[in-house]
Structure 1
Amino acid sequence: MLAVLGQYLGPLKWFVALLAALLLSATGLSLFLPQLMRRFVDNAKLLDGADPGLLTRLALTYIACAVAVQLLNAGATYVGARVGWTATNRLRADLMAHLLGLDMREHKERTPGEMIERIDGDVTALSNFFSQFAVRVFGATLLLLGSLVMFFREDARVGGAVLVFTLVTLYAMNRVRQLGVEPTRQEREASAKLFGFVEERLTGLEDIRALGAGGHHLNAFLRTQREFFHRSTRSWMRRSIVWQLSMLLFAVGYTGLLAAAIGLYAAGAITLGTAFLLYQYMSMIEEPIDQLTQQLQDLQKAGASLGRVAELLALRSDIHGGTTPLPGGRLALEFRDVTFDYEPDPERPDARPVLGGVTFHLPAGQTVGLLGRTGSGKTTLTRLISRLYDPTSGSVRLGGVDVRDVPLSELRTRVAVVTQDVQLFQASVRDNLSFFDPSVTDEQVEAALLEVGLGRWLDRLPDGVRTPLPAGSLSAGEAQLLAFARVMLRDPDVIILDEPSSRLDPATEALLTSAMTRLLSGRTAIIIAHRLDTVARADRILVLGAGEVLEDGARDDLARDPRSEYAALLRAGANVEDGVLA
């Protein structure tokens, strides 16, 4: 906790200094107020000899100091909130950047809903704690120490007794504080599961409705929510032990102090004003300990959240960029004896990998059509080019350079991927195409849309490229063309198209084919396809089967060779069409 505080509060040291000054001033005035009250009570007790002018001055001074304390505390609260939220917003941004940089394996193991809960729910718990920590804990500690010093100034015996009481109370509460840490961690875990469950069901809402499975999923939701409720209740009950113990101990403490004050007053050792002063200072002992008690409960939440955040920050990506730049111009692509498996099983070394010994060469500026049955390894092969994963063995080279030696930012700038499922954001058209890059101009976005044939669509938008683009408002063809426009803006050297026409009608496919021709012109490209028409303009054909290269060659040569895999696929496609027409 202290390390995190130091890392994220360090850059805000001047605000922290201002906060300390405000708290010190407020504490000093708070300790001075009982002194004024004692003088007022002792002078007011003198019914015949009381000085009205003195009483008035004391009352006005008391009011002015009390107002000043409130203003100083308000200022400290504002500065503390600003410091706390600024620090944790930096933590949230760092955590988001860290998650975006993790390997795809980590994202496969956790649902997006769980990630959202980690970034928002856990960090918000830390934000609430950090924004109040300095004001409440530091301020309460100052007030507690100051009150103990004032007790000793008035009477060493009373001061010693109150010191012992304070130490016992703090020790007891610190002992029971740990009881709530593990239940709170389990509560946060249950919350993350609940968020992940909701996210997955909302994503698959269309299938759930179409299959009439709403009732089953609702029952599963209730079970997940029940677990969250039980863990939350158990966590709250464990945390509540702290303040319940505090109430019990202070009941004993007040009883003892009042008994001592009455005894000293009856013996003539203290005045009535001093007895009242001792009671006020006892309340100043109670207030900071109550604050510390509340913060101990928040500390339990923050400790559990911080532990979960630390788990994510401790994750390290196995994929790191190198320092060798790619050569300029178009890039040749080469696979050299590449083997890959998502989760190699050391107990089954003979198990077939996803890719096994893949070797091929694609000259710069040429397009290869990648064919094969579902599960043959086509998509996996393309993921190795942009380094979403690294080969288990072998190497992938661009322009003669191993992609593992290239800086990741440069690699993913020079290589563009268009997937089947185009991700669109609830943002403007320009933000969807530029990925929120403010350096991209509206004119560049418009030119990219015109290049892919979306000019008429653009003309219908009321605010042009600044028009908001609600999710789900586009057809599959329009979404695919927008993805092409994204690539146009980047002007990469290598393009990977994953089933670009798998969900399109013939008219839209013709428009997409025209845009694809312009997009691929002069660039090195891979087109993954099940439909042979999609690769009709490819220079080369690569056929995969069970993770191995079954065939690699020029498309025209393979089409003319009746023994080739590609020629067999063409014949099979022609037979299917004849059957349908018949």
Structure 2
Amino acid sequence: MTVSAPPALPAPDQRSSMLGVLRVYLGPLKGQVLLLAALLLGGTGLNLALPQLLSRFVDNAKLLGGADVALLSRLALTYIVLAVGVQLLSAAATYVGAQVGWTATNRLRADLMSHMLSLDMREHKERTPGEMIERIDGDVTALSNFFSQFAVRVFGAALLLTGALVMFWRTDPRVGAGVTIFTAVTLLTMNRVRKLGVEPTRLEREASAQLFGFVEERLAGLEDIRSLGAGGHHLNRFLQTQRAFFGRSVNSWRRRSVVWQLSMALFAVGYVGLLAAAVGLYAAGSITLGTAFLLYQYMSMVEEPIDQLTQQLQDLQKAGASLGRVAQLMALKSEITGGTRSLPAGPLELRFRDVSFNYAPSDPESRGVLRGVDFTLPAGQTLGLLGRTGSGKTTLTRLISRLYDPTAGQVTLGRAGEPGIDVRDVPLSELRSRVAVVSQDVQLFQASVRDNLSFFDPEITDAQVEAALREVGLGDWLARLPEGVRTPLPTGSLSAGEAQLLAFARVMLRDPALVILDEPSSRLDPATEALLTAAITRLLSGRTAIIIAHRLDTVARADRILVLGAGQVLEDGPREALAQNPRSHYADLLRAGAGAAEVLA
């Protein structure tokens, strides 16, 4: 199976500002951006010409009895044609802007998803899946308007505002100077108040993430909540979380609304001033009635873009808050990075060399989960890993696939008789393609059978998937599927045994060198366990393997046994030798298991 490397992400410092975001995500779309600019420029030019036609129409129409009907007809027809042109150009600009915006947004979503998948497990443990979903969907959706509408409307509004001011100056420099001063004061005032909503909006997004996380956790634990009759308590907590989100949303909206409220007040003053100036100039004979009407039209063209800017400033506040949260996430760095050395072909020898591990290494009072673990698992052999709950069995296997790295010591893989390669020196994609883990809780997706087994890899053929299913004993089950491997597999439609067998089939498709099975038969009935045992035998043939188990019959096929206790190796050796040694921990476990079976009998 081909393992592709994740896409390279833009540098975090490039994504820490609005200009940086525009440069990184709109830069590759510069052709479409230039087309968008041309559409906006053309629409603005036509929009500025419309009041000129209206002015001429009014000045000619007021000449009672002497109006040139032919001229008025031409002006009216020209106005209609230009107005239709404005609408067509506006629609085209909106379409191209949306296309540019969503393309850029989807690139950002993909970068965020790729980045989050690359983060260490510590980061994922500190955040709920619901919060992560809110980061990818909620925050990026807030940014989508910034991409799709901000450039269109702000650039278009800036063009229209500039053009309207130029027309004011051409019509009457005195009015042009007054309107320019008014516009400058309005924009400066709104720019000063626009930041009022950034922090409340950030808090709103945080509350939204907490709400998503709360809902996700409760849905995941729905069975326990129902069986224990705790629905009412969780509903009360939901209402508290929802109330906090609502309060922050209202506060955020109020702070953001200051911008447009201030804009309305300023333009009420501006319109009164312009109308007073137009009436005075008309009364003095300095301008015609058509020109007075023209000034009013151009004032509306000043108001419209500033209204657009006002609205976009509110969206800019949302985008600023979301961008800050996205930048925080992008700034997180994975401490687990791969090297450049490749693993040899075939089964691999595994060595732990004085390995210690602590989930909280910075806490001096925290006790390590693993302490001085040292053992060798020869290539092609199976290790039965035993120990009490909390002894460090699962943690040990996580160090092999590098979900975590040792606090001290070294984990190596390689050929027998040769110095092993530190797993930290192997590219992560190669390591995780050569080391396969089947956990207790098999994750199935609402997708087809082939997508569940191939993890959506299009290079894996249906024939390969079918062969893997038959290899693990699911041939009869496959024959009953109406659409074969293309049959949708709803979540929760399989038994625990069938889910485990599907997980084995996933491993068969990858053909790894080392397989880790974590409690593969912990929840199975005897008949299903027999089928699973046969599948395990086929799965482990010719591979190095580790089987974590509480039930001793699960490791009856193991070549070696390693017993952990309190994070240390209590015993390590060939299974047969340990079973025959009455003083071994393994022999004690066998006697305890036989005694429990007699009591049950």
Matches within 5 A, 1:266-277: 266-277=283-294
Q: Establish whether residue 89 from structure 1 lines up as the match of residue 106 from structure 2.
A: yes
Q: Establish whether residue 140 from structure 1 lines up as the match of residue 160 from structure 2.
A: no
Matches within 5 A, 1:41-440: 41-348=58-365, 351-399=366-414, 400-440=420-460
Tell me the residue number matched to 1:537: 557
Matches within 5 A, 1:557-568: 557-568=577-588
Calculate percent identity across the aligned residue pairs. 80
Listed as ranges, the gaps of 5+ residues in structure 2 are: 1-17, 415-419
Distance 2:498 2:56 in 1: 82
Deviation at 1:338, TM superposition (A): 0.3
* Residue identity matched to 1:7: V
Tell me the residue number matched to 2:26: 9
Deviation at 1:346, TM superposition (A): 4.3
Distance 1:130 1:445 in 2: 41
Show CA shifts across 1:184-229 (max 9, x none). 1001000000000000000000000000000000000000000001
1:448 to 465, 468, 483: 468
Distance 2:483 2:102 in 1: 36
Tell me the residue number matched to 2:597: 577
Distance 2:367 2:22 in 1: 49
Tell me the residue number matched to 2:14: none
Distance 1:262 1:395 in 2: 87
Show CA shifts across 1:298-337 (max 9, x none). 1111111111111111111000000011112211000000
* Residue identity matched to 2:506: R
SS of aligned partner of 1:177: helix
Deviation at 1:176, TM superposition (A): 1.1
Distance 2:578 2:347 in 1: 25
Distance 1:471 1:421 in 2: 13
Show CA shifts across 1:142-184 (max 9, x none). 0000101111111111111101100110111111111111111
Show CA shifts across 1:341-371 (max 9, x none). 01124433xx531000000000000000000
Distance 1:89 1:449 in 2: 35
Distance 1:27 1:160 in 2: 22
Tell me the residue number matched to 2:49: 32
Show CA shifts across 1:282-310 (max 9, x none). 00000000000000111111111111111
Distance 1:291 1:396 in 2: 60
Distance 2:325 2:392 in 1: 35
SS of aligned partner of 1:335: strand
Distance 1:520 1:330 in 2: 10
Deviation at 1:48, TM superposition (A): 2.7
SS of aligned partner of 1:312: helix
Distance 1:183 1:133 in 2: 21
Q: Establish whether residue 464 from structure 1 lines up as the match of residue 464 from structure 2.
A: no
Distance 1:352 1:116 in 2: 33
CA RMSD of the aligned region, Å?
0.7
Show CA shifts across 1:367-424 (max 9, x none). 0000000000000000000000000010000001000000000000000000000000
Query: Which deviates more, 325-334 or 530-539?
Result: 325-334
Distance 2:139 2:29 in 1: 22
How many residues were matched structurally?
579
Distance 1:94 1:217 in 2: 35
SS of aligned partner of 1:439: coil
* Residue identity matched to 2:524: L
SS of aligned partner of 1:356: strand
TM-score normalised by structure 1 residue count: 0.99
